[in-house]
Amino acid sequence: MNVPFNDLAGLHKPLENEIAGAMREVMESCAFIDGPAVRAFERDFATLCGVPAAMGVANGTVAVEMALRALGVGPGDEVICPAMTFIASVEPVVTLGARPVLVDILPGTRNLDPSQLAAASSDRTKAIIAVHLHGNPAPMEEILAFARPRGIKVVEDAAQGHGASLNGRPVGSMGDMAAFSFYPGKNLGAFGDAGAVVSADAALLEEVRPLINHGSRPGRKYYHDLIGFNMRMDTLQAAVLGVKLPHLSDWNRRRREIAAYYNQRLAGVVELPVETPGGYHTYHVYAVQLPRRDQVLQSMQQAGIGVGMHYPVAIHQHQAIASLPHPPQGPFPVAEAMAKQTLSLPMFPNMTDAQAEQVCTALLRAIDAGGGL
């Protein structure tokens, strides 16, 4: 039996009628844009994040961009980002005409290494993007301790971290602003593209509203105070997300159960993911590291196990980043090693114990066959 990398059809099956009902309601009300489901989801998602307000947007990349815009990031500014993340953490920095400055990650927890912030910062540093990679909270206390006294803003890229927390504080509530993605495969996923910006500072978050709605402030349709964008969240996506949201904490618990099982079966055989101290890791991705990764990946695929790499290229190694006028200066050895060695195992909340067992058996077999340490 094959084990897929993810199984969204199986996840949605028990919610089928409820989701169809929510979508039908949107169809019948015709409130396709800015409908009540968007407002309801924003309210409930804010509660999850422990913040006063959330704002639905078109996708997670836009969420990062709008957070940076609301904080005033623009040409001439520098923004510090980790060297290992999805490109969308860094892309908006470049889109805004600012310059991405990279720091390496920590081995094990794989998040931005706060001890490297001092060397990476300058009087042009406007913001730091703290990515909760794979759902593991970034070391926010150290990052904020560096940023706050220097007036540097902190944006949490929580696109992989719905429901994660650090010392009891939900991700999204710690930085100046935070960005979430509801890309279908994320821990909380829509039926298409969607995202959210959240902030503990409700007034700052309100600066995003006109940006995503043609520069119009709420209740001021036809009056455009600034040049904005059309980057709202669709009502249909909000309706789907509203049905799924109440299940997120159970889904995250199950992901952690599978991760604990993987840890126990694979200890001593591969490099395991390490949880940030005090962190509640939500395992959007469960990634191990091992030499001869490519060989093991191929054996796993041949055994019918869905595997992935998050990510096989460090940020400074992408052509798009290396060809910038001021490309970030490496080396970033921890991120580079991770790119070569990382292997993501199947991870989804509806995975059975038998499937998890099968994944481990296949991995141990692939390593025995010559892909091990």
Ligand X SMILES: *Cc1c(COP(=O)(O)O)cnc(C)c1O
Q: How far apart are CA 71 and CA 296, in angstroms?
A: 44
CB closer to ligand X out of 129 and 144: 129
Which residues lie across from 344 on neighbouring strands?
Answer: 287, 308
Q: Considering only residues 6, 85, 109, 252, which one is a binding residue for ligand X as defined by CB under 6 A? A: 85
Q: Is 187 in the site for ligand X (CB under 6 A)?
A: no
Which residue is nearest to ligand X, using beta carbons?
60
Q: Is 42 in the site for ligand X (CB under 6 A)?
A: no
* Smallest distance from ligand X to CB 326, Å: 22
* Smallest distance from ligand X to CB 279, Å: 16
Residue with tokens 């990476």: 120
* Smallest distance from ligand X to CB 45, Å: 14
Q: Considering only residues 41, 183, 283, 332, which one is a binding residue for ligand X as defined by CB under 6 A? A: 183
Q: How far apart are CA 179 and CA 99, in angstroms?
A: 19
Which amino acid is located at 284 in the chain?
H
Q: Considering only residues 61, 165, 199, 355, which one is a binding residue for ligand X as defined by CB under 6 A? A: 61
Q: Considering only residues 156, 193, 275, 336, which one is a binding residue for ligand X as defined by CB under 6 A? A: 193
Of 121-160, binders to ligand X (CB under 6 A) are 131, 157, 159-160
* Smallest distance from ligand X to CB 58, Å: 8
Which range of residues in 81-89, 147-155, 236-244, 275-283 is near ligand X by CB under 6 A? 81-89
Which range of residues in 53-61, 118-126, 199-207, 346-354 is near ligand X by CB under 6 A? 53-61
3-class DSSP state for residue 42?
helix
Which range of residues in 20-28, 56-64, 106-114, 296-304 is near ligand X by CB under 6 A? 56-64
Give the DSSP letter of residue 134. G
**What are the C-alpha distances in Å from 300 to residues 88, 121, 213, 295, 362?**
28, 42, 46, 9, 6
Q: Is 172 in the site for ligand X (CB under 6 A)?
A: no
- CA 117, 122, 128, 131 dihedral sign is negative
Tell me which residue of 58, 128, 131 sits closest to 100, measured CA to CA. Answer: 128
CB closer to ligand X out of 256 and 284: 284
Q: Is 347 in the site for ligand X (CB under 6 A)?
A: no
Tell me which residue of 59, 129, 137 sits closest to 89, measured CA to CA. Answer: 129
Q: How far apart are CA 92 and CA 108, in angstroms?
A: 27
CB closer to ligand X out of 81 and 356: 81
**Are 160 and 180 spatial neighbours (Cβ–Cβ below 8 Å)?**
no
* Smallest distance from ligand X to CB 299, Å: 27
Q: Is 111 in the site for ligand X (CB under 6 A)?
A: no
Number of residues that bind ligand X (CB under 6 A): 16
Q: Is 88 in the site for ligand X (CB under 6 A)?
A: yes
CB closer to ligand X out of 109 and 299: 109
Q: Is 276 in the site for ligand X (CB under 6 A)?
A: no
Between β-strands 153-157 and 342-345, what pairing exists: parallel, antiparallel or unpaired? unpaired
- Residues sharing a CB contact under 8 Å with residue 107, sequence separation 6 or more, in sequence order: 334, 337
DSSP string, 219-260: T-TT--SS---B-BPBHHHHHHHHHHGGGHHHHHHHHHHHHH
Q: Is 282 in the site for ligand X (CB under 6 A)?
A: no
Residues lying near ligand X in the complex (CB under 6 A): 59-61, 64, 85-86, 88-89, 131, 157, 159-160, 181, 183, 193, 195
